[in-house]
Amino acid sequence: MLRLTLAQMRRSIGRLVAAGVAIVIGTAFVAATLIAGNVITQTTNDSIAAQYADADLVVSAPDYLTPDDVDALEGVEGVDAVEPVQLTYLDLQHGAKRVFQMAVPAPSDPRFEALEVVEGSLPSAAGQVALPEDVAERLGVAVGGTVTSSRNVWDAAAPDGGTYEEVRDRLTVVGTTDDPYGAYAQMGGAAVVAREDLVAWESAQATPDDPERTYSAAMVGLAPGTELETARAAIGAQAPADAKAVTPAEHAQEQARQLTGDRDVFTFVILGFAAVALLVAALVIANTFQVLVAQRTRTLALLRAVGADKRQLARSVLTEATILGVVSSVGGILLGGLLTQVALLVARGATWACRSRRRSP
Amino acid sequence: MHALDGVDVDFARGHFTAIMGPSGSGKSTLMHLLAGLDSATSGHAFLGDTDVTRLDDTALTRLRRDRVGFVFQSFNLLPMFTAEQNITLPVELAGGTVDRAWFDTLVSTLGLGQRLTHRPSELSGGQQQRVAIARALIAAPEVVFADEPTGNLDSRAGAEVLSFLRRSVRELGRTIIMVTHDPTAAAYADRVVLIADGRIAGDIADPTPESVLAGLDALRTLDVADDATTATTAPAGTGTGAVRA
């Protein structure tokens, strides 16, 4: 009976292919949408998690952590290293080139290193900076060269009762970095400066009315052999009541959920179009099979005459539809995956193109 | 207007019977009733002890599968199957296994040994009809109905097919009921039943083309006389047909 079904399919291959194409397009659409959605979510997750490098836990509070909170974390048993998440903006100049660059402090522990050093090293003393490779190229500065950093300092002794004054520092470029996991990709990369510089600049900029320095989160590295859950509980007992200690992956997921709320709506809209495509495919299939059965009236009548019962014939048509559906759906999923891959490659190619454009003078 | 009428006829097992009659005489209707392809509005048709007119669809399917075979005017082979696959199709549909000895007997009797791997499009009309006969016989049915089996064949191929049908009856002990309007074809049968206006109008044993023609001629003169005097108004499909041992 299966042989008969297959033989019938071979005879109607043209019509079946037409219906199959409709299914392939529909499923490819759905598959591509879902895969792309997943890739976007995953990429967002990964890049957020990448900021925390190999930290074991991320401690965050709904409003903020005070420096005292951070210091308290260091006293928790099993905690090996603590580093508050901190960033600032630099106004860097070299010759006629000027770049506004986000900057993070040099990590106090190798576990917190989110960037990879390409050349030279990360800053180990005040007055040093490590630049992202492309930023260094844009400024036309090499390792060993210097850049000028302009910043504002609050001068409380000024005659009119306090004002900002511009101060220029010379920073030595000690290294260039790469951001292989896209930790700071969404912020245009990150320069690295010595923590003492960053703290000094921030306090110099602060007016007496500014609130105390706070942190959104702190990274925690655990001593070897410390159980994650034990440390989590210990930190929970020590940190402010509303603070949470989560793994970087969990933290990233939560952040990504807040970020991608809109993207989910976007996915649903595309899936709406996909539903239309699938509905059209369903109509095409129904129509195809109506035509096929009508075309085969003679054959079906003959089969009835030589002893086929109605159920056998119905089963044959259903088998045919199932084979068509499965084969086309698998094809559609493969096509959808392929399209997504191509789209990702094209997107990556566009990024490269951007970079190389920036590199050219 | 009546599709058959007051028929009352028996067909003997192990015989080759031809049903003849002018167009519209109801010979095809009679065969369809006997085979359970059409249902009777009144009257009965028996195959052995089974009343074919009283069977539901499932039972009719089983009847067609196990007890009845068909040979059609237009061969009706599946074009995508080889000759062998066409022959074994009924057994495959029934979910049984092919009786190889019987298959070989059929194939050698019908001279199809060299043609088994060919598709219908690679076979002549006569060969296609022989494949159809083998298909009708493969399940060893109690009776084979042949509807104008030589209608689409030239006279040589037709004669070949008819002698195969006769051999199936004589040598393989089959029962065949054939509808035809060709006296020469009818002469291959053991018996010819003449039908006119839904009634049995003649019965010729051991027919020759000449005796069949004479019978038909008699029928025609009878028709002219009949038309002048009677108007039959019995309900359609009335009558009794039977295939008996």
Domain boundaries, chain A: 2-46+264-359, 57-246
> Buried b / exposed e across A267-291, counting CB within 10 Å, b at 16+?
beebbeebeebbeebeebbeebbee
Residue B64 contacts A where some CB pair is shorter than 8 Å: yes
pLDDT band at B237 (very low <50, low <70, confident <90, very high): very low
The angle subtended at Cα A121 by Cα A115 and Cα A124, nearest 5°, is 100
pLDDT band at B190 (very low <50, low <70, confident <90, very high): very high
ipTM of the complex: 0.81
Region B15-40: mean pLDDT is 84
pTM, full prediction? 0.68
Q: How are strands ordered across the β-sheet holding A57-65? A: A79-84, A215-222, A57-65, A244-246
Give the minimum alpha-carbon distance from B242 to chain A in angstroms, rounded to a whole number.
Answer: 20
Residues of A in contact with B65 (CB under 8 A): 306-307
Helix (H) or strand (E) holding A216: strand A215-222
Region A112-138: mean pLDDT is 89
Q: What is the SS3 assignment for A83?
A: strand
Q: What is the pLDDT of residues A245-266, one digit of tens each?
A: 888 888 888 877 777 666 667 7
The answer to whether B61 contacts A310, with C-beta atoms less than 8 Å apart, is: yes
Q: For residue A156, is pLDDT > 50?
A: yes
What span, in angstroms and rounded, lies between the C-alpha atoms of B165 and B174? Answer: 9
Give the CA count within 13 Å in the CB-facing half-sphere of A43: 13
Highest mean pLDDT among A102-116, A226-240, B215-229: A102-116
Between A100 and A359, residue with greater pLDDT? A100
Q: Report the range of poorest mean pLDDT among A62-76, A346-360, B85-99, B105-119.
A: A346-360
> Buried b / exposed e across B68-104, counting CB within 10 Å, b at 16+?
bbbbbbebbbbebbbbbbbbbbbbbbbeeeeeeeebe
Q: Which residue in the set B61, B80, B135 is minimally distant from A11, CB to CB?
A: B80
| Structure letter (DSSP) for residue A155 | E
**Chain B from 74 to 103: CB within 8 A of any A CB:** 76, 78-81, 85, 89-90, 92-94
Give the CA count within 13 Å in the CB-facing half-sphere of A262: 1
In chain A, DSSP finds a helix count (H) and a strand count (E) of 10, 11
Q: For residue B230, is pLDDT > 60?
A: no
Highest mean pLDDT among A211-225, A268-282, A295-309: A295-309
Find the radius of gyration of the CA atoms of chain A.
31
Mutate: best of A6, A9, A297, A306, partner B, most B CBs <10 A: A306
Give the minimum alpha-carbon distance from A281 to chain B in angstroms, rounded to a whole number.
Answer: 28
What residues form DSSP beta bridges with A154?
A164
Residues of A in contact with B57 (CB under 8 A): 310
Residues of B in contact with A303 (CB under 8 A): 89, 93
